[in-house]
């Protein structure tokens, strides 16, 4: 199979496995999604959903979050990785949203990326999931699988994102972002598959003999 054929096969199989993928992070509005995704760095989605259940009861909008202050926000999220840094970013971002954007989360990717603690991936998730704008967020799962599946050379996350956007139609980007993550967690984990074990890897490369060493994000 060439790259386009692999992409069509991948999209078909992922749609069969995960036909209606739902965002794994609980949220009720654009702001809570932004904060949840910000928290998810180096933390499991399960852990994020646990801490945000109580955090969002206390503050589900920028004004209330800013009023909580860094210390109280930290108390809610302290079991997450990088909690001190994230607490500071959450409060700073909330203040900017209040002061600069009338407490609204901007829809533009570039404006989101300017917020403290909000990188390109986080911004991409928000515009894709909440604002329904074409974006293809690439996390470690996607970066790894795209290499195993011959869709990118893995030189950088940015390059992987560009390669995936080039081979898949933008109407499928949102679903594929989630479907690849779910597949990676379920069938093609970092230690569970080396490019020769799971269904997708074996189907795409039936004659592959050597293990695939993927480049980190």
Q: Stretch 57-73: mean pLDDT, rounded?
A: 98
What pLDDT does residue 164 have?
98
At residue 139, the 3 state secondary structure works out as coil
Is pLDDT above 80 for 217? no
Residues 86, 50: contact at Cβ < 8 Å? Answer: no
What pLDDT does residue 154 have?
86
pTM assigned to the model:
0.94
Residue scoring higher pLDDT (155 or 197): 197
pLDDT tier at 103, thresholds 50, 70, 90 = very high
Q: Stretch 157-186: mean pLDDT, rounded?
A: 97
Question: Nearest CA to 74 among 96, 58, 61?
Answer: 58
The model's pLDDT over 156-169, given as tens digits with 9 standing for 90+, comes to: 999 999 999 999 99
Is pLDDT above 80 for 205? yes
Is pLDDT above 90 for 216? no
CATH 1.10.340.30 domain extents, the chain: 30-129
- Tokens encoding 78: 């302290």
Q: Stretch 28-51: mean pLDDT, rounded?
A: 97
Neighbours of 1 (CB within 10 A): 14
User: Yes or no: is domain 3-21+136-204 CATH 1.10.1670.10?
Assistant: yes
- Tokens encoding 156: 């950088």
Distance of CA 68 to the CA centre of its chain: 26
The percentage of residues in the chain with a pLDDT greater than 90, rounded to a whole number, is 97
Q: Stretch 86-112: mean pLDDT, rounded?
A: 98
Assign domain 30-129 to its CATH architecture.
Orthogonal Bundle (1.10)
What pLDDT does residue 23 have?
96
Residues 128, 177: contact at Cβ < 8 Å? Answer: yes
Average pLDDT over the chain reads: 97
CATH 1.10.1670.10 domain extents, the chain: 3-21+136-204
In the block, residue with structure tokens 């479907």: 179
């Amino acid at each position: 199979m060439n790259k386009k054929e692999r992409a069509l096969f991948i999209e078909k199989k992922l749609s069969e496995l995960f036909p209606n993928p739902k965002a794994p992070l609980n949220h009720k509005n654009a702001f809570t999604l932004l904060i949840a995704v910000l928290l998810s760095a180096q933390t499991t989605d399960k852990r994020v959903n646990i801490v945000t259940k109580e955090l969002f009861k206390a503050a589900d909008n920028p004004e209330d979050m800013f009023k909580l202050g860094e210390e109280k926000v930290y108390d809610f999220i302290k079991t997450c990785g990088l909690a001190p840094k994230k607490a500071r970013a959450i409060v700073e971002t909330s203040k900017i949203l209040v002061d600069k954007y009338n407490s609204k989360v901007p829809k533009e990717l570039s404006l989101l990326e300017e917020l403290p603690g909000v990188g390109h991936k986080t911004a991409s998730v928000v515009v894709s999931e909440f604002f329904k704008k074409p974006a293809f967020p690439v996390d470690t799962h996607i970066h790894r699988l795209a290499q195993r599946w011959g869709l990118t050379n893995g030189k950088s996350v940015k390059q992987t994102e560009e390669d995936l956007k080039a081979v898949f139609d933008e109407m499928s980007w949102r679903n594929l972002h989630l479907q690849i993550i779910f597949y990676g967690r379920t069938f093609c984990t970092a230690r569970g598959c080396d490019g020769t074990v799971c269904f997708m890897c074996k189907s795409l490369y039936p004659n592959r003999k050597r293990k695939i060493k993927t480049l980190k994000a």
